[in-house]
Every structure is written in C-alpha cells, then in structure tokens.
C-alpha cells in the first residue's frame, strides 16, 4: 500500500451507456449504491446508466447523478477489496467539477443520498440558467494560460477550466466563443474544440444556478472530511463545512483549477493516484501535468480483479 495516495473522481462529459453495469453485477457493494440512488431520486438512474437512451443520459440533470452514482459504485467496490490507508493524513481526494461531490461522499463529508439529490438539482439549475442565457464552451489546445487570459480579455469570454498544460476551457456567449475561436487559431492554438454542452458552465452565466444551489446546500448536513479534500476553486484543502459549502456554491460560476489542484497534491509527495468513474479523462490530464505520476482507473470489474 503506497504511503500517500490520491483518489480522483470523474466529471461531466465522461458518461457512456452501460457504465457501471458490470460492477453492479459483480459487487454487492456497487449494486447497493445504484439501488440507493434509484430510491433517493424516485426513478431508475440505474436503467439510464445501463441502457440509455444517450440523449436522456447526457441531459445535465440526469448526467450529473448518473456519473456520481457510477463513481461511488466503483469506490465502494474498490473498498471491498482494498482497505484504505489507516492514516487519513496520507489520503487525498479531488474531483473535476461535478466530481467534487463524489470526492466529498468518499471523504464522508456528504451522505450519498444527499449528494445524488443535490447534483440532480445542480444539473437542473444549470440547465435553467443555460436556457435563460445561452452560451457555449470551447477547449483551447496548445495555448498557454497567459495567452488564454489575454484572449478572454479581448473577446469577453471567461476561463472555465484550467485542466493541464496546453488544455484550457473557456466559456461565454455564442458570439464571444466564435470570436475567441478565430483569434485563438490566429494566435497559435493547435486546435479549438467547441464542446457539446448546453451552456456556458463555470462562468458568470451560471450565477443564478449558484444562488439556487446555495438554498439546496442549506438543507443538507456537511461534515468535516475524513481525508484531505482539495477544492476546485482554491486548489487547496478545505475541511470546514462552512468553507466546503461556500466553495461548492462558488464553483458553479468560477474557474475549475484542476492543474493547480493536482500540483498541490503532487507537492505533498503523492505519486499514486486512482481515478474512479467512467472513462479515463483525469488519467490523460495527469500525463500532461506529471508524466511520472502513477494513475490507475477503477471503472470495470477487471480493474479490481487483483484486489488493491
């Protein structure tokens, strides 16, 4: 067992039909998570994960609870075969955007049923704001952060995610993103990919969603995490319930500092990471942040065949 270890949790966009089905069938602990989610939500998120249809699974208010459920099912299956390090000071947890909620469940800061209902609301609020104030997001490949910030200053777009060296996501109105796309290519970006999302997430366009989310967060109990939980908006540990709540509210309309969060964890001597959830997005980001870091994924039953 590594001395220091970090657990990473997937964000929105990594979903696919069939995710979690083999874990559900192979591990009673994973099945219990899906069953709890179905009961908490009042409909079968399990069926949506396993069978689709794709257009329903990708709706933000479905996608967010679906990914959280699959991620925590993978987490519980992992724990059933691989005990966690006893010393909580050696454990770190972080999640990309939506993945923060999975990280908080894994850290025993938020109960699973509360979290799955909460992210269902979060997704709904984000969709409502996107309908009121349409926007887009685009991924800038091969542009430095300083150049991305200048691009935003010149176009009115906003930095949404700083994911890794050479991968920055921007948000804004359709005109702003179109202008930024053109300018970015002129200024040396290798590629600009307009993302298949329904709104300008992690930008000022989402302030209304943040306010609504604050009301929902007031209804649930948040505990001090039992691991080193790293916040997206500060890239630093957050351990008081008040700070965690404030950061979750801010996060909806603020930049996700993923690269800085990973560099903070790496600075603590962590070289071993485990990613939970669908696909391997965080592993590929880590390759660009620190090629020496060891990242394994827990997504399917074969990922757990050899135990921890």
- pLDDT, one tens digit per residue, over 81-124 is 998 999 999 999 999 999 999 999 999 999 999 999 999 999 99
pLDDT at 210: 98
Q: Which domains does the chain have, with CATH numbers?
A: 5-131+203-304 (3.40.366.10), 134-194 (3.30.70.250)
Catalytic residue among 46, 71, 97, 164: 97
46 has catalytic annotation: no
Q: In the chain, which residue ranges form alpha helices assigned H by DSSP? A: 21-26, 28-41, 45-51, 54-57, 60-81, 99-106, 112-132, 145-155, 174-186, 207-217, 241-251, 258-267, 281-289
User: Hunting for tokens 């409909």 — which residue is that?
Assistant: 43
Residue 165 contacts residue 154 (beta carbons within 8 Å)? no
pLDDT of residue 1: 45
Rounded Cα distance, 298 and 14, in Å: 14
Catalytic residue among 14, 102, 164, 202: 202
Predicted local distance difference test score (pLDDT) of residue 208: 98
Span 28-85, pLDDT tens digits: 999 999 999 999 999 999 999 999 999 999 999 999 999 999 999 999 999 999 989 9
- Let me know if 284 is a catalytic residue: no
Segment 182-239, tens digit of pLDDT: 999 999 999 999 998 889 999 999 999 999 999 999 999 999 999 999 999 999 999 9
Element (H, E) at 276: strand 272-276
Residue 307's pLDDT band, with cuts at 50, 70 and 90, is: low
State CA 126 to chain mean position distance: 15
Q: Can you spell out the DSSP letters for 142-157? A: S--HHHHHHHHHHHS-
* Alpha-carbon span 116 to 37, nearest angstrom: 7
Please compute the mean of the pLDDT values over residues 294-298 and round it to a whole number: 97
Share of the chain above pLDDT 70, in %: 98
């Amino acid at each position: 067992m590594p001395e220091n270890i970090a657990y990473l949790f997937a964000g929105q966009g990594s979903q696919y039909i069939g995710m979690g089905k083999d874990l559900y069938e192979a591990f009673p602990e994973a099945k219990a998570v899906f069953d709890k989610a179905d009961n908490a939500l009042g409909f079968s998120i399990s069926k949506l994960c396993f069978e689709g249809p794709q257009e329903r699974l990708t709706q933000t208010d479905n996608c967010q609870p679906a990914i959280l459920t699959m991620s925590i099912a993978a987490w519980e299956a992992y724990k059933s075969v691989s005990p966690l390090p006893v010393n909580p000071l050696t454990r770190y947890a972080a999640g990309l955007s939506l993945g923060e909620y999975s990280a908080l469940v894994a850290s025993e800061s938020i109960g699973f049923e509360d979290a799955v209902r909460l992210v269902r609301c979060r997704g709904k609020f984000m969709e409502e704001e996107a309908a009121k104030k349409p926007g887009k997001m685009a991924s800038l490949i091969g542009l430095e952060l300083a150049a991305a910030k200048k691009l935003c200053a010149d176009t009115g777009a906003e930095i949404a995610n700083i994911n890794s060296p050479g991968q920055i996501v921007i948000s804004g109105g359709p005109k702003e993103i179109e202008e930024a796309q053109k300018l970015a290519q002129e200024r040396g970006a290798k590629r600009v990919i307009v993302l298949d999302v329904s709104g300008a997430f992690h930008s000022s366009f989402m302030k209304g969603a943040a306010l609504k989310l604050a009301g929902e967060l007031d209804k649930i109990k948040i505990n001090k995490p039992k691991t080193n939980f790293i916040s997206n908006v500060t890239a630093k540990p957050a351990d008081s319930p008040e700070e965690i709540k404030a950061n979750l509210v801010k996060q909806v309309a603020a930049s996700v500092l993923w690269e800085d969060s990973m560099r903070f964890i790496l600075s603590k001597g962590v070289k071993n990471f485990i990613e939970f959830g669908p696909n391997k997005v965080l592993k590929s980001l880590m390759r660009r942040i620190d090629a020496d870091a060891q990242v394994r994924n827990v997504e399917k039953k074969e990922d757990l065949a050899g135990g921890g």
